[in-house]
Structure 1
Amino acid sequence: MFNLFNKKKNKANIHSITIPDQGWNKLSEDGDAIRWVNPQQSALIVLHFFDKEPDLPTVKDLDYLKKFYRNIAASSNGGTVETDILHIHDIPTVKTIIKIPQKETGMVYIASITIPFEDCSYVVKIQANEIGVTGMRDAAILNRLMETGEVEIGEENIINWFEDPYDPDFKQGTPMNKSELEKYDHEFPEHPLSIARSLIKKIATEIVFQPVIKELPSFKK
């Protein structure tokens, strides 16, 4: 009778999900996270396991999620590059890419996939930092778009350059600029945004769930 009144303990753990680690060096591992690093690219892959109810607001309302992550990024003077809802092995997940200004110069790009369940969640995160000479991608695309007249230099700002991808009227933080569009990634494969975006796409395709994952109660929000 005792067992009937006790909630079945979650059997999932950090190893219930496997992601491609690119053969990078494992930096650390514990029950909450596994971290891999590639010093040459100043990039980090992290697999997090949170053994508690997720604080994610929803996996159903994409418009709400866009506002939610836009405000999170802007609170750190950053901006949103992408927010989307994916279905990985039939499980709803949230994909985001945001950028945060570094103290000196350049940006940190953070791409993530959040996989929520009723009582736990996994987050895969890619963090890639601009290092060395920064702003080369921005400058190259800005000059190109100025030549075509798509972007202009105004008296106080650059016209038609910065724009949140989902709300052109949102001006807080550091909105996405035209050079950060995915169509330019192939021209700048070593740029941290290109690295983060390609890696999170690869992980979303190649992530492996152990059978215990299918037994977890789903996230209802």
Structure 2
Amino acid sequence: MKFIQIKFSVKSFILKNNIHKYRWLIFDADNTLFDYDKAEKLALLKTLDTFGVIYDKNSIVETYHKINHKLWMQFEQGIVKSQDEIKIKRTTRLFEILNFSGDVVKFADSYLFNLSQNGHLLANAFEVVEKLSKTHDLMIMTNGMTNVQKPRFAAAPIAQFFQHIIISQEIGHSKPSKEIFRHAFELMKQPSKVEVLMIGDNLGSDVQGGINFGIDTVWFNPNKKQENHKATYEVRNLLEFV
């Protein structure tokens, strides 16, 4: 454990000493700046209660999270073709597990509305983004759904600090595709790739997407997962940026 801690401290030190060389910082949104896990839990429980679904309070959130996570992974891999497909499939699978017969579309839409009303930030997100905005240009790049993300961003106190917010569903391309990064570079007026840093919690969409496009990356790893990765940097607390 001591070796892991030392390795982590060195990586944090390197990032702090190199952060000045980047002009643009591209942040993922969910579970990088926004507390998506909390939003998901609150939205799910409210929707289940509204529809009168009987469920095990000790396991339902984890059950849904696994269903949702698997579908988003398949979406990033091109197996699931659209975010609308995710919306319907995750609700259908949840109903099957709960042995519940109901209107899948109405439940899915209600859940998304409830999710859009939960824009809780992760600890230190506001302070870190505010400080970074004084020295860098900032962008958000998210694979989320438009009707969920727009209300969350509009109500978020950190929105004022970002020059651009890219929602994948709006432009028809998602991370880790090169197309969404090309779109980002067009908005940024084609900076040099060495001036751009991609930051996110997902090794597949955020880190690999950045690597594939040829820019440096930060893996935000607050849960201290032990994974082999090729990210340029790794941090476990947003405060390590400042």
Q: Point out the structure with max Rg over C-alpha.
A: 1
Query: Larger helix proportion, structure 1 or 2?
Result: 2
TM range (shorter): under 0.3
Q: TM-score, normalised by structure 2?
A: 0.23
Q: Which is bigger in relative contact order (C-alpha 8 A, separation at least 6)?
A: 2
Q: TM-score, normalised by structure 1?
A: 0.25
